Amino acid sequence: MNLRKPSRYLIFPATDHYDAVMQRRFGLAAVLCGVGLGGLAVSAYLYVWPGLAQAPHWLSAPKLAAIVPTPTFPTTTQTVEVQRGDTLARTLTRGGLEARAAGALATQFGKNGAELRKLRTGASVEIVSNFRNEPITVRYEASPWLSFAARATRGGWQVGRAETVPDVRVEAVRGVVQRSLFDAVEKSGESAKLVLDLVEIFSSDFDFTADTRAGDRFRLLVEKRYAGGTFVDYGRILVAQYASGGKTLTGVGLEQPGARFGHYDLAGQSLRKSFLKSPLEFSRITSGFTYARPHPILGGVRPHLAIDYAAPVGTPVRAVADGVVVSAGWNGGNGIQVHLRHRSGYETQYNHLSRITDGLRAGARVRQKQIIGNVGATGLATGPHLDYRVAKNGTYVNPLGERFIPGEPIPAAARPEFQRHTHELLTRLEATAPY
């Protein structure tokens, strides 16, 4: 048998068949690569210009329940208001602080500028205490413009202060008296405080207790102070006019160098005269100055050398001018009386008072508009009223007809500037509050 040895070499298929298979494989790979690159190109195009693609559908966010933290250490807050006559330490004590702690905290407030004794009635003090009833923070609002805050530390208190700059706006106010000046001002949307400021300007030239009439008109420009958009109080009255009985009173506000802000008439004369027209801000005259009046108690016709003002018991009585107390106490039929001596030979008497202001005694000095007592019905009086008398060089004179000493005028050198200032204010008043 003729057997052949196996070959040591591999035998491949024919060359033509192999090449055909490989070409088919390379073609399939090329097609797959082209499809992949085309898909990549489409994805890139949609990424760069997403407007052509369908908007994605977003899932709505899950609703979470509100998380209310529970304080680990509960606190309590107490608010107290300053009462008339309070000191800061006394107010803090009423808020729950021990006397020693209240005194120490008040001292710290004082070092930061707080007034410790002359507090604003109604000012609030807020005290926050921990669960052991120990004060940890204290906030004191001294005024709408100034507040203080204190935080308890290991060594005492850390105190800070915050100040609010007033937003001052000049606004016009006008009105017509129908029932009373108070009623007219309130109808214009303002408060009684503005009435008192207006009356004070003309108090030496016009007796609002006796001469106010229905149909009187007033207008003024006043500074109003706001804090955070909320009205707080009034500032200065820049110019005011009051028309009554065919006569118009004008008061122009001006602050001269080295002097306080004051009001002057159109001629530059100060409206702050040496004497007020009336010792009461508001009242009515029940009996005038006369040499023959039927006496309501003693009978007969007798001189009544005084002006009687009807007013409720307790109404404050003002000194009409600077002076010195001659006597203060009971004086027979005059009841409780205050007798004052003024310059240029004038003296005034205030009779039938219910009480005299504490500390008012012979020899004491008083200032114009200082409260010297209160209306009453002591002595020979049929009801509550004030019997007001004025004497000059020992002779009684009619207070309503007396021409008292005028105030200081604008210096001649300052008159041109005053006239320019007056013209500007009156022009603005006429434009914003025409009669």
CATH of the domain at 243: 3.10.450.350
pLDDT at residue 26, as a whole number: 63
pLDDT at residue 70, as a whole number: 56
Q: Which domain holds residue 203?
A: 167-264
- Contact between residue 231 and residue 224 where contact means Cβ atoms under 8 Å apart: yes
Q: What is the DSSP string of 303-335?
A: EE-SEEEE--TT-EEE-SSSEEEEEEEE-GGG-
Same domain, 212 and 133: no
List pLDDT tens digits, range 176-194. Answer: 999 889 899 999 999 888 9
Element spanning 391, H or E: strand 385-392
Judged by phi (left if over 0) then psi (alpha if -120 to 50, else beta), residue 208 lies in alpha
pTM: 0.61
> What is the chain's Cα-based Rg?
44
Closest CA relative to residue 92, chosen from 120, 118, 116, 76: 116
Same domain, 145 and 178: no
- Rounded distance between C-alpha atoms, residue 128 and residue 188, angstroms: 42
**Residues of the chain under the 50 pLDDT cut:** 1-3, 5-14, 52-53, 55, 58, 289, 291-295, 297-301
pLDDT at residue 386, as a whole number: 92
- Rounded distance between C-alpha atoms, residue 274 and residue 278, angstroms: 12
Question: Which residue, 148, 163, 178, sits at the end of a domain?
Answer: 163
Burial 304-331 (b: 16+ CB within 10 A, else e): bbbbbbbbeeebbbbbbbbbebeebeeb
What tokens appear for 352 in the block? 């039938």
User: In total, how many domains does the chain have?
Assistant: 3
pLDDT at residue 116, as a whole number: 85
pLDDT at residue 238, as a whole number: 97
Same domain, 82 and 126: yes
pLDDT at residue 402, as a whole number: 81
Same domain, 292 and 376: yes
CATH of the domain at 371: 2.70.70.10
Same domain, 135 and 226: no
What tokens appear for 280 in the block? 């009461």
- Rounded distance between C-alpha atoms, residue 369 and residue 203, angstroms: 10
**Considering the domain boundaries, does residue 430 fall inside one?**
no
